[in-house]
Structure 1
Amino acid sequence: MVPTIACGKPGPAGEVAGVNILALLGIGLLTGATTVLFGFGGGFVAVPVVVWADAALGAEAIRVATATSALVMLVNSGFATAVTARRVLSALRGSGALLLLLAAGGTVGALATRHVPAGDARWGFVAYVALTIADLLLRPGFLRPRAQAQSAGGARRPLPAVLGVPIGAVAAFLGVGGSVMTVPALRRAGHPMRVATALANPLTLAVALPATALSLYGAAGVAAGRTYLRLVGLVDVRAAAALLLGALPVIALLRRRPPRIPDRAHAWGYLALLGVVEAAMLLTG
């Protein structure tokens, strides 16, 4: 079976499900910034935006949003990894097992999205972000890092390999890429925010690759014929293209000239963005 392309009746030029493509391009600029600054790869931003853009699908919009998010994360995180300094990426040496298990978990999570009610996936996203915000606020080590040696390129394994499957599964199921788990873990291991967020990109890539492949294979019963959507499998390709067109130049620019952000302010910015995403997801309900 080849990927299904479900085309609806053409709508006004420059619109995706009634949303002007320029708006998605603008959001793409933001996803590029979050990819570099927070390691998100675009997932946390892309999911509520695509849910909003594809609201005509009703409850099924969350399935399309997580699939589209996977593709956006795959390209963004892959590009961000390619332009990251090798001395920073050297911290992942010896992490082959972790990357393989992240990919395995990503496969499990992507498959689960086809069998779990769409409403459950949506509220799972909301609950997960809320719990993460509470954890970062209440548990020491993120906003108030312990006095540990912080290096930009140590050979230390960033995460235990055994965590790969659960992180990958949750990340792919919710369309968040895993950085919401990996960045806090890396920071609590002693890495400064600029290193933790950079290392999150290749870890996100491992999750997003199988999730994207499965998302592009078949539409799993999502009916796009009543909308202005263009779906390939479960992916809204026009929304993904608009988001990526805005994101990639920003990634290139910020990797070339990274902003100098104090570490503590960087951590608070990460937390604040999670709060904005949570509010956006609730408002698009």
Structure 2
Amino acid sequence: MYSILLLCGGLAGVTTVLFGFGGGFVVVPLLYTLLISVHGPDSGIGQAAMHIAVATSTALMVFAASLATWRHHRRRTVQWYLVRPLVGYIAMGAVLGAAAAVSLSGEWVRWVFVGYLGITIMDAVLRPGFLHQASGDIRPMGHLVTATTGTFIGAVAALLGVGGSVMTVPLMRRRGASMTAATAMANPLSLPMAVSGTATYVLLSASGTAFGAWYAGYVDLRALLVLAIGSWLGIRLASIWIGRIPDRIHARVYLLLLSLVLAVMVFVH
């Protein structure tokens, strides 16, 4: 199990630094599947598998998004003047999203995850503004739009444990950002969600779960450690490709990865 998690962490690191996913699109479906396979669907851990996968994925983002942000900052690909206004609103939304996830059943969280992925993919394919070559001139947002968008991003990302990439990348893409700039901004915007969301998952679930000594609420600490090591290796290996992937290919691979994760979550029970 842990060798698979190490490989999964490496893949999560690659997708974090190149696509801004924060690892959740890789970690959530795989960890969910592993927990069901190892413990059985009727065990206590099996019944809470989706909550554990989401909470552990959110905790991993604290590490992965921090390291990926530093890598992008060194390459000067982060547009900080667009990132800063969203940070506080995303953190507030993350508390709401994590609290909602704890109160919902794992099956509900799973199907919300599936539904949101499907909507995101269809929107990117059918609505103009994502797949075309961007101009690179990013249009800023007004204060009200920033507040509403940031809170929504934080809430949905923490609810699903996937980071803000699924919303921030299409958002920035349609405002004129290249894929490199959009994915670079997704990493620092995942950080406030990850910190607030992880704290909320641990505090709200610690008294109601009893999975063993290696759990902090719904966060699987052993899995988190192995995933973090793998993520560090993946980020180091993939950093050489920052800014080198052609824009059109970058956008299409982003959607392909979303489609693969959607298929896994639909057909794995």
CA distance in 2, matches of 1:73, 1:128: 19
**CA distances 1:217-272 after superposition (whole Å, capped 9, x unpaired):** 343534426xxx83111101111111111111221333245372211111010000
Q: Bigger shift: 159-168 or 99-108?
A: 159-168
Structure 1 residues 51-92: Cα deviation after superposition (integer angstroms, max 9, x where no partner) = 112113233111111100101111100111122236322x22
Instruction: Give the distance between the partners of 1:220 and 1:256, measured in 2 at CA.
Output: 44
Please tell me the residue identity of whatever aligns with 1:80: A
Are 2:12 and 1:31 equivalent residues in the alignment?
yes
Counterpart for residue 8 of structure 1: none
**Residue aligned with 2:48, SS:** helix
Aligned residue runs from structure 1 range 199-210, under 5 A: 199-210=185-196
2:99 and 2:221 map into 1 onto residues whose CA distance is 20
> Pick from 240, 249, 265: which aligns with 1:265?
249
Query: How well do the aligned residues superpose, as a CA RMSD in angstroms?
Result: 2.1
Q: Which residue of 2 aligns with 1:10?
A: none
Preserved contact between residue 89 and residue 151 of structure 2 (Cα < 8 Å): yes
Contact 2:88 2:192 in 1 (8 A): yes
Return the offset for 1:206: 1.4
Q: TM-score of the superposition, structure 2-length normalised?
A: 0.89
Aligned twin of 1:219: 206
Are the counterparts in 2 of residues 93 and 155 from structure 1 also a CA contact under 8 Å? no
Offset at residue 133 of structure 1 (A): 0.9
Listed as ranges, the gaps of 5+ residues in structure 1 are: 1-19
Kept in 1: contact 2:180–2:243 (CA 8 A)? no
Segments of 5+ residues of structure 2 without an aligned counterpart are: 40-44
Higher fraction of helix: 2
Q: Give, in whole Å, the separation in 2 of the partners of 1:187 and 1:53.
A: 34
1:29–1:250 contact (8 Å) kept in structure 2: yes
**Post-superposition CA distance 1:183-224 (Å, at most 9, x none):** 011111111111110110000111111001122234353442
| Structure whose CA Rg is larger | 1
Identity rate, percent? 43
TM (norm. structure 1) is 0.84
Contact between 1:59 and 1:119, CA under 8 Å: does it hold in 2?
no
**Partner in structure 2 of residue 63 of structure 1:** 51
* In structure 1, C-alpha distance between the alignment counterparts of 2:254 and 2:82, rounded to whole Å: 27
